[in-house]
Amino acid sequence: MILACDNQTSEFYKVTGYGAVLDLDIIAVDGKEIDFKANPFETIFFDNTNPTAESRRTVKVRNSSPIAVPFHWSIYKEKNSSKITLGDE
């Protein structure tokens, strides 16, 4: 990485690290195991609904990544908020 300054000087840095691709598999929807060959991908879609109506599905996912991935679920107080921040959890 080259850090270039406005005074015409530059510094060279080497950045190293480890990375992994997050790979989540959908295992089941509403308690029914998913087999994308037997059941098309559309089985995980929500049905059409009207504005202000609610719809709920239970989706079970599995982390297929080579590393453990920490996670959390957030519930937001305002459903129609134009901007959601972590402070709204």
Predicted local distance difference test score (pLDDT) of residue 15? 87
Domain coverage including residue 57: 18-66
Predicted local distance difference test score (pLDDT) of residue 11? 92
- Name the DSSP class of 46: P
Most confident stretch, 1-5, 21-25, 28-32, 47-51: 1-5
* 25, 34, 36, 57 from 41: Cα distances, Å: 12, 9, 6, 15
Q: Give the pLDDT mean for 4-8.
A: 89
Residue 22 within any structural domain of the chain: yes
pTM, full prediction: 0.48
Q: Give the pLDDT mean for 48-65.
A: 82
Residue 31 within any structural domain of the chain: yes
Residue 12 within any structural domain of the chain: no
